[in-house]
Chains A and B, each alone.
Chain A
């Protein structure tokens, strides 16, 4: 089973602040993902990456950006947080030989005031 770490777990921040949500995995998985999940709703894919220097936009449009400089690290950044960004953000990764089998981190709950 993959080990996926997300920090912070909870974040309350004011409008206009820049924030970075961290995601790291220790299993050497090539593919990584960011999902956004609102209460009672399905997960929506907002970003994914096939590997280092690869980033792709997901199904749901997002004002956030991502980077993949190292295999194990896939941070998500919001340059100017707004209340509409309030949500839970889940990071996941999958191995090269089973890309469709994803392993999830515990999530970051973001509240923008």
Chain B
């Protein structure tokens, strides 16, 4: 069965500092990978996704993520964090598309706090 692990429950970074949020997945084949962001009281917004091809994917709001098959990881990065980035970030995996394979399995999330 697929699973997603986000090792860090809560991370605090200073505004302007770089950010890396970790995500590890468990799946036999190459999965579809996603990062979502959830601001307080809001639904989830898709930041970026990886299906195939270039292992470095660019997303919205200046985020990027790199797929590393050897490490079963899909870490999210941003070179310079803004105060508005404070939110909860969820990594998710899907087996594919079509039928139940398109259903997402989510990690428990990482809460990001930003210090001024």
Contact = CB atoms under 8 A, between A and B. Distances in A.
A53 interface: no
A106 B43 contact: yes
Cβ-closest 9 pairs across A and B: A99-B102, A104-B43, A104-B44, A100-B94, A100-B102, A42-B106, A43-B106, A106-B43, A42-B108
Contacts of A90: 43-44
Interface of B: 4, 9, 32, 34, 36, 41-46, 49, 90, 94, 96-98, 100-109
B108 A41 contact: yes
Contacts of B98: 99
A6 B111 CA distance: 24
Contacts of B41: 106-107
Contacts of B104: 43, 45, 100, 102
Interface of A: 4, 6, 31, 33, 40-45, 48, 56, 58-59, 90, 92, 94, 98-107
A96 to B, nearest CB: 10
A59 to B, nearest CB: 8
A112 B42 CA distance: 20
5 contacts: A40-B109, A58-B103, A99-B102, A100-B32, A101-B49
A59 B45 CA distance: 22
A48 B102 CA distance: 11
